[in-house]
Every structure is written in C-alpha cells, then in structure tokens.
Structure 1
Amino acid sequence: MRAIKRVDTKPELELRSALHRRGHRFRKDFRIDTEQRRARPDVVFTKQKVCIFIDGCFWHSCPIHGRRPTVNQAYWTPKLTRNSDRDRATNDALVAEGWIVIRIWEHVELAAATDRIERALADRAAGGPAMQSSVIQVE
C-alpha cells in the first residue's frame, strides 16, 4: 500500500497538462478546510471555487470498471466501501461551502473531461446553471 501514489498519477498529470495547454491556471493538491472535513482535490480553481477529483476505477468503485477483489475480501470490501463513503461526505462538505465538485473517472477520455471542466468554469463565471454548488460526475 505504501507504493500507491496519492498525487501525480498518470491520469492526473495528463488532465493537468491538457488544462494548462488550454490556458487554465490552477492549484494542484490544494488543501480545502471545511467545517465538516478536510479535502485535497487533485485540481483546484480557487477563484471560481471549482475543484476536480480524478478517481481511480478500482479505488473508488467505478460502476463500469471497478471490481471487488476475490482475495482477502474481509479487508478489501470495507476498505472500498469506506472510500466511497468518504467521497460522498467530501462532496457534501464542499458543496455546503459553495464549491462545485467535479469527479472524473480515470477511464474518461481526456478531451471530454477537459471540455466538461471548461463548461463548468464558463458557467460559474457567467452565473449560469453551474453557479449553484453541485457535484458533477463525468463518466
């Protein structure tokens, strides 16, 4: 478990690089303290209050690619359930504080993910539908 990277994973690096190429500036692994909990999104647009999490299919139980290990189920089942519960609690805490939370599965095509982030940023800037705090799941 020590070998599992928390930051700078391949999908995260690719997304940050694509956003940077499109002219966006952001914070990476920026800590956000809310009243209920602390969060460390992968990419944060502080001025717009938009944060992005890139979720791994295995670790966050992707409905398409996630799988339950067949070995040591007594350990893995509660572990993966806790991860999903923590994700929901983090979403709720951030939305309560006015953030837009975007969760992107690692298998999502890079262009689609980047386009969805840009739409959310544009809507927030224009006061459109994404002006309200919400959770956007990119599948």
Structure 2
Amino acid sequence: MSQCCVNQSSAHMRLIRKKNTKPELDVRRLVHSMGYRYRLHRRDLPGTPDLVFPSCKKVILVHGCFWHQHDCRLGDRQPKANPSYWLPKLQRNKDRDAATERALLVLGWGVMVVWECEVRDKVAVAGRIRRFLDEPNIS
C-alpha cells in the first residue's frame, strides 16, 4: 500500500469517535424524550457504558455495526485494506464486548445493546428501550 493511502486511512480513522457518536446521540435524545434520566460513560463500570440508569441498575450500550461486527449488512462488510490488521482487531472488539457484558451481569446490572442499524427505526427501538427499562432487574 502506498504511503498516500496509508495517510488517508489514518486520517479517516482519527475522525471516528469512541464517545458521542451519531447513533449514541440519537439514542440519548430518544431516551430523554421518553422521560428517562441517565448518566453518561461511567468509568467505574466495566466497558464504560454509554447510558447508565443507576436507579434501576441498567445500562445501554450503543454499538456501531461495523466496529462491533453486527450480523446486519453494515456489520457484514470486511475491510479491504490491511485485513491482517483489521480482522483480528474487530474480533478483539467482539471479545471485549462479550467480556464487558458478562462483567456487568455479574455485578447485577441489566444490559441492553442497541445497534446502529436499529436506531433508524425510532418507534421500534423506543419500544425495546421502554420494555427494558420498565421491567424489573433480576440480579
């Protein structure tokens, strides 16, 4: 790969944020409009969950389909440039997600994952979130 393409790829990758992504902001606006209040990115919890609801001991993780390898058309895409680097990295993301979810469950937290592709259907995702937040947390 030429140096020009590497620099373009690196510049593109630097623009991708870890927090406050568009899907996360959409979920936050939706949850807030539904009347729920939450805390953001609590670093004392495994995986620094995106939305934390301390009163009901639940968290919502908003995952990008590509980065967390969802089984939708967005997540099914494989990187064309430097797959020997990216494929193991994407697998580590999946492994870390599973470990984070297990650790949160062990601590007694309810966990919900909202995928980037789901955020497009606001009515459906709002229903899922409402059911998740309103059901009792079984620890």
TM interval, shorter chain, is: 0.7 to 0.9
Q: d(CA) in 1 for partners of 2:124 and 2:23?
A: 13
Residue aligning to 2:39: 27
Answer with 1 or 2: which has the greater Rg: 2
Dislocated runs of 4+, deviation >3 Å: none
Q: Measure how far apart 1:132 and its partner are.
A: 2.1
Which of 61, 70, 90 matches 1:62? 70
Q: d(CA) in 1 for partners of 2:131 and 2:32?
A: 16
Could you list the runs of 5+ residues in structure 1 that have no partner in the other structure?
125-130, 134-139
| CA deviation string 1:16-54 (max 9, x = no partner) | 111111111101122233xxxx32111110111110111
Question: What amino acid sits opposite 1:123 in the alignment?
Answer: E
Residue aligning to 2:8: none
Residue aligning to 1:46: 54
Q: d(CA) in 2 for partners of 1:31 and 1:47?
A: 17
Could you list the runs of 5+ residues in structure 2 that have no partner in the other structure?
1-12
Q: Measure how far apart 1:72 and its partner are.
A: 0.4
Root-mean-square deviation (Å):
1.3
Q: Please give the TM-score of this superposition, normalised by the length of structure 1.
A: 0.82
Residue aligning to 2:106: 96
Q: Please give the TM-score of this superposition, normalised by the length of structure 2.
A: 0.82
Q: How many residues were matched structurally?
A: 123
Q: d(CA) in 2 for partners of 1:111 and 1:6?
A: 26
| CA deviation string 1:72-108 (max 9, x = no partner) | 0110010000000000000000000101110111010
Q: d(CA) in 1 for partners of 2:125 and 2:103?
A: 23
Are residues 1:82 and 2:92 paired? Answer: yes
Which one has the bigger helix percentage? Answer: 2
